[in-house]
Amino acid sequence: MQETSKKIRVFSGVQPTGNLHLGNYLGAIKRFVALQDEHECLYCVVDLHAITVFQDPDELTHNTREVTAAFIAAGIDPTRQIIFNQSQVSGHAELAWIFNCVARLGWLNRMTQFKEKAGKDREKASAGLYVYPNLMAADILLYHATHVPVGEDQKQHLELARDIAQKFNNDFAKTIARADYADDFFPLPEPLIAGPATRVMSFRDGAKKMSKSDPSDLSRINLTDDQDAIAKKIRKAKTDPEPLPSEVEGLEARPEADNLIGIYAALAGTDKASVLGDYGGATFSTLKEALAELATAKLTPIGDEMRRLMADPEEIDRILADGAGRAHTIADPILAKTKDIIGFIRS
């Protein structure tokens, strides 16, 4: 096996589609920060993914900088790790095309995110939305990344990325072996989905995930919300009439309670059982008061730092350009080998 496929390399992406929220933070960004001390990490603002649904150009530019600012404000160090926007490294689009020719229609037809996003009128969805998971596989495999921290909703896409890697390795086994890459040119990437908040739910409806596109701003806490907004949204969050249970099993079939306890645990860096140890038997209003205080303490410094960074867009663009240059250095030889394996002539 090649050196590049052996070591741990972390890759993940966030779409610049506005309204970064608590789910993005707890399910993804907070976990990106934790991984950077031990591993080489690439964190990508996936602008090519964003345009699978039309984006206003000025908003796309703004949102790309805002996700970058959120990464840095949350604690990712752009001098140690690579932060960049996807469209600056053309290998993502090139490898995605190759994967369009590896992935099978039957595989894509099973993707639940496409079904949700395309809605009833599938004929009107962009072709890009349909092949989006192939681009996501390309993002990861372009760097021979081995580990991918994501929220629960991305599990199915990660499985597809593994299927694509496996099929490519099988289809091209002959030239992979000839070039002495052993039989596994692309590593099968592992999802890292863990902790008490892998699926943060809407504050308005415990059956729906917290999402950037929910028309109700009360459904989510945005990373740029101030103390008053955070407290108000938590106070108004939907609950049920029972007091909180003392055991984790008591959260089953109580999605709103489960959500608030999971959020508290993730923000406090503990688990649900220990939060219930403190709040079992208490009313929702007691929990909500404590949660508002904790969420404010953890989130408002991030929002403040994001605003400070956003005041200097040239500096953000410089960080992205620097990250893209370093991403190219890793991606270019992997893409070149991929082309050799397929049989493309290159100069």
| Closest residue to ligand AMP: CB criterion | 27
- Residue 27 in the binding site for ligand AMP (CB under 6 A): yes
CB neighbour class for 62 (10 Å; exposed up to 12, middle 13-18, buried from 19)? middle
Which of 126, 130, 90, 138 minimizes the C-alpha distance to 109? 130
State the nearest-atom distance from the C-beta of 189 to ligand TRP, in Å: 8
In order of 12, 94, 111, 199, 294, the CA distances from 114 in angstroms are 19, 22, 6, 18, 35
In order of 7, 144, 187, 329, the CA distances from 4 in angstroms are 6, 7, 9, 12
Identify whether the C-beta of residue 158 lies closer than 8 Å to the C-beta of residue 147: no
Residue from 59, 153, 159, 332 in contact with ligand AMP (CB under 6 A): 153
Identify whether the C-beta of residue 88 lies closer than 8 Å to the C-beta of residue 321: yes
| Closest residue to ligand TRP: CB criterion | 13
7 is catalytic: no
* Cα–Cα distance, 281 to 275 (Å, whole number): 12
Residue from 155, 167, 212, 232 carrying the catalytic annotation: 212
Taking the least distance from each CB to ligand AMP, the nearer of 23 and 303 is 23
Residues engaged in binding ligand TRP (CB under 6 A)? 11-13, 15, 46, 49, 136, 139-140, 148, 150, 154, 157
Q: Taking CB under 6 A as the rule, which mask of x and - marks residues 195-234 in contact with ligand AMP?
A: ---xxx--------xx-x----------------------
CA angle, 322 then 324 then 327, to 5°: 115
Residue from 30, 115, 208, 209 carrying the catalytic annotation: 209
212 is catalytic: yes
Identify whether the C-beta of residue 195 lies closer than 8 Å to the C-beta of residue 26: yes
* Cα–Cα distance, 49 to 136 (Å, whole number): 8
State the nearest-atom distance from the C-beta of 323 to ligand TRP, in Å: 15
Residue from 23, 91, 189, 323 in contact with ligand AMP (CB under 6 A): 23
* Cα–Cα distance, 114 to 59 (Å, whole number): 23
298 is catalytic: no
Picked from ligand AMP, ligand TRP, none, the partner binding residue 63 (CB below 5 to 8 A depending on kind) is none
Taking the least distance from each CB to ligand TRP, the nearer of 139 and 258 is 139
Q: Taking CB under 6 A as the rule, which mask of x and - marks residues 71-90 in contact with ligand AMP?
A: --------------------
Which of 295, 336, 327 minimizes the C-alpha distance to 45? 327
Residues that bind ligand AMP (CB under 6 A): 14-15, 23-24, 27-28, 150-151, 153-154, 198-200, 209-210, 212
Catalytic residues: 117, 209, 212
